[in-house]
Amino acid sequence: MITLIIFFIIVLIVLFLVRKNLQDNKNAEKVIGLLRVLALIGIVVAILFASIVQIGPGQVGVPILFGSVQDNVLRSGLNIVNPLVEVEKLDIKTQAYTMSGVKDEGQVKGDDAILTLSSDGLTLKLDVTVWFKVSESEAPQILRTIGADYIEKIVRPATRTSLRDVSVQYTATDIYSSKRDDFIKEISKNLETSFQGRGIILEKVLLRNIELPEKVKEAIDEKISAEQRAQQMVYVLQKEKQEAERKQVEARGVSEAQKIISSSISPQYLQWKYIEALKELMTSKNNTIVITPYDQKLTPLLNLNK
């Protein structure tokens, strides 16, 4: 836009010089006058357009006047600015930077996984994604001290360095299984320290994949399986113990019930129940004859001594 303004100014100067050389030619003077008006209109329009800058959603604009970064920040929408400034736009939305061993999955084409060592001397291959964003208020400072390529200068090298620095404090087994969350937390703390004062805000570190030597991976898987089997056996033993205790309680209940029944049943009670049963048999439609032993008083006999 500044170039366009300069062009119109040059046109005005040329027209002024031509006008001095063609003062006697009235027609030429009219043409030059018309061109001069058009040039002035063009300059005004160019200045108006240069004074209005649109900043997109999730962006901020940083004015730069003759190479000097200004401290004010332009936010989303239309902004009125000095027509002589250039505006550098920075993205303040959440950004994801991925380093992966899978082709075309990360920002760098090809295998970009991080090779590092564990505390027990094993080589690990890590796939990582870092979520971060640019601080809106510190955007001018980023351009002034780092530049627009802050990802290549800060985010990428800081992430790779943090992973290597932290991984040597953990064994391969810990990173792969039991202390994976602690490993990620330690990396996040390290990265936050690296980003501090640089206008970059860390949101989250995602450890997407851990690739170990095959033999080590098999050994770790076997160890985890053994631990799971041991936990399953503990559960089974606890269940069997509970079942045995239940059966003991049930047996004690049955024993107590039998003792109560034995102490409460008398010969007279059994004689009465016997007679009741005979009565039901005699009244049943399926029986025509009922034969029972009885004494001289015609009382059914019930041997209670056996």
Tell me the pLDDT of the chain averaged across its residues. 78
Give pLDDT tens digits for 45-63: 666 776 778 888 888 988 8
Is the CB of residue 155 less than 8 Å from the CB of residue 200?
A: yes
Supply the pLDDT for residue 194: 92
Supply the pLDDT for residue 265: 66
Mean pLDDT of 106-135: 88
Supply the pLDDT for residue 19: 56
Which of 221, 223, 214 shows the shortest CA–CA distance to 123?
214
Rounded to a whole number of angstroms, the CA Rg of the chain reads 47
CA distances from 97 to 16, 74, 142, 185 (A): 57, 26, 18, 18
Neighbouring-strand partners of residue 98: 129
Residue 290 structure tokens: 């009922």
Which of 94, 84, 89 shows the shortest CA–CA distance to 73?
89
CA 55 from chain centre, in angstroms, equals 30
Percent of the chain scoring above 90 in pLDDT: 22
Q: How confident is the model at residue 306 (pLDDT cuts 50, 70, 90)?
A: very low
Cβ-based neighbours of 59, under 8 Å, separated by 6 or more? 76, 89, 90, 91, 92
Give pLDDT tens digits for 236-254: 888 888 888 888 887 777 7
pLDDT at 94 over 70: yes
Give the integer Cα–Cα distance in Å for 159 and 12: 56
Q: pLDDT higher for 306 or 81? A: 81
Supply the pLDDT for residue 304: 46
The pTM assigned to this predicted structure is 0.59
